[in-house]
Amino acid sequence: MTATDQNETTDELPFHLTGNMAPIAEERTLTDLEVTGAIPPELSGRYFRNGANPQTGWSDHWFLGDGMIHGIELGNGKANWYRNRYVRTPLIENPGVERMDLYMDPETITFNYDVSTANTHVIGHAGKILALEEGAFPYEITPELETVGAHDYDGKLTTAMTAHPKVCPETGELLFFGYSSLPPYLTYHRASRSGELLQSTEITVNGPTMMHDMVATRHHSIFLDLPAVFDMELAMQGGMPIRWSDDYPARFGVMPRAGTDADVQWFDVDPCYMFHSLNGHDDGDEVVITGCRVREIWRDSADIGGGDFDPTMGPHMWEWRLDRSTGAVRERQLDDQPTEFPRVPDTRVGVVSRYGYTMSFASDGAGGEILKYDMTDASKTAHRFPGGHSPGEPVFVPAAGAKSEDDGYVLTYVHDESSDTSYLVILDASDIGAAPAAEVHLPYRIPAGFHGSWIAD
């Protein structure tokens, strides 16, 4: 259904197409950027953030819009440019065409993984910048946000790729997986520091689920097999094809990083969903996982927002301890404040991390918050934005010659509701509650989006 068709049949747009979630139409390049404060001169690179921005103005769900990346280049204490660009995929070249018409061959029941929205994340690995969406191949882009094309690791990748791979800070390996609505439901992959696909291993699960994220430790890869189950009938209707199932067991699977299906040890956990993990690490025989737990998702509808928010549902910061020697599981809630988009410094992925950063939602005209968790005791401090200012996912960038884990900066885009404009904020991570070190202002808004990365020079 196109935007025109939808507007002819309804008087009210769905929540994910209103306010700061609404798409913008124009691709822009700006070089004369207003800056308040002082940009740290050591920040030399680009902050890129991806998000759903349907080209036609319409999508059936927030998660299904076309990918648009917003980037700001910093260097020598200056903001050199802002750019926003669509990732050029077959969906961009065929506006208004139903994805399934391009994605699935009904005769062979096979998928064309070049067909992607490329709308969820953007990362750097092995000298490439990759725009990610979990139903397809990654798309390579340039530092100037031009699209190179689909990347399939020289033909070795034959499944979709998650939007949440993990880069090991010690080995440089990229750990990821692909899930599918058809067998094999889950395939695990491992790529080298140089970008060579080293391993593709089918993992046995109980059915077709939406596995959005994974967890990595220095020695293990962990799969989150949770009760968000595919419904092919819904998929053919064009909407979000996922529904909650009370009959599907919730469990985490722990596998040695270079292991096989037979090596996976499964741990039953209380029913829940986790869109985003914070981190994981090995602690003797235990694997420790932290992340933002939701009690359930999409039981009756996959609609996003627009209704009354129930803070008891989550997402809340949570911890699981999985004992590989006994099979025992200990789980506990670490905080009762709803929070999402958790990140740790890239250098702490898979090992003990003292600090984690998340975003807390604005409500009733109040400003949003960036939270800094001290995981030694799950305490937190906050940077509180003015009323009507809503931040996105926090991304940590280390300071030059950093002497501690929080010696660096936290970057995110912020929307100012009063002016309907946005800015990049740079916070001192060691003093998160202090006034921003700098803000880079734009004369228009950046729509609410998903995930991003600092791509250093």
pLDDT in tens, 409-427: 999 999 999 999 999 999 9
**pLDDT value at 73 more than 70:** yes
Residues 6+ apart with CB under 8 A from 227: 209, 244, 245, 246, 247, 248, 249, 250, 271, 273, 296
pLDDT, one tens digit per residue, over 313-331 is 879 999 999 999 999 999 9
The whole-number pLDDT of residue 309 equals 57
342 close to 286: Cβ distance less than 8 angstroms: no
Cα–Cα distance for residue pair 101/112, rounded to 1 Å: 10
| Mean pLDDT score, 185-196 | 98
Confidence of residue 11 (pLDDT cuts 50, 70, 90): low
From the number of C-beta atoms within 10 Å of its C-beta (0-12, 13-18, 19+), residue 432 rates as buried
Nearest to 346 by CA among 306, 398, 392: 398
Each residue of 262-273: pLDDT tens digit? Answer: 999 999 999 999
**Torsion angle of C-alpha atoms 43, 77, 147, 112, degrees rounded to 10:** 30
Supply 18's token pair.
Answer: 């209103």
Strands (E), 180-237: 186-191, 197-202, 214-216, 220-225, 228-230
- Cα-trace Rg, the chain: 21
Over the stretch 128-176, which tens digit does the pLDDT of each residue have? 999 999 999 999 999 999 999 999 999 999 999 999 999 999 999 999 9
243, 286 in Cβ contact below 8 A? Answer: no
Residues sharing a CB contact under 8 Å with residue 453, sequence separation 6 or more, in sequence order:
47, 48, 121, 122, 123, 124, 395
Strand partners, 384: 369
CATH superfamily of 3-456: YVTN repeat-like/Quinoprotein amine dehydrogenase (2.130.10.10)
pLDDT computed for residue 306 by the predictor? 53
Is the predicted pLDDT of residue 7 greater than 60, yes or no? no
Half-sphere exposure of 366 (CA within 13 A, CB side): 9
Cα–Cα distance for residue pair 373/390, rounded to 1 Å: 19
pLDDT digits (tens, 9 = 90+) for 211-237: 999 999 999 999 999 999 988 777 667
Contact 62, 16 (CB under 8 A): yes
Coil vs helix vs strand at 334? coil
Domain ranges (residues) in the chain: 3-456
CB-CB contact of 353 with 339 (8 Å) = no
Q: Read off the tokens for 322.
A: 């999985």
Q: DSSP of 37-75, one letter per residue? A: E---TT--EEEEEEEE--TTS--SSGGGSPEEEEEEEEE
Token output for 6: 């939808």
Buried b (16+ CB within 10 A) or exposed e, 286-304: bbbbbbbbbebbbeeebee
Model pTM score: 0.94
What is the reported pLDDT for 3? 40
pLDDT of res. 9: 40
Asked which of 3-12, 55-64, 309-318 is least confident by mean pLDDT, the reply is 3-12
Q: For 172, phi and psi rounded to 5 degrees?
A: 80, 0
Q: In the prediction, which pLDDT does 299 show?
A: 83
Average pLDDT, the chain: 93
Sign of CA dihedral 66, 91, 12, 296: negative
Cβ–Cβ < 8 Å for 407, 398: yes
The amino acid at 278 = L
Select from 361, 355, 359, 360 the least CA-distant residue to 373. 355
pLDDT tens digits, 377-396: 999 999 999 999 999 999 99
CA–CA distance from 131 to each of 92, 123, 212, 226 (Å)? 14, 7, 15, 25
pLDDT band at 2 (very low <50, low <70, confident <90, very high): very low
CA 446, 450, 453, 454 dihedral sign is positive
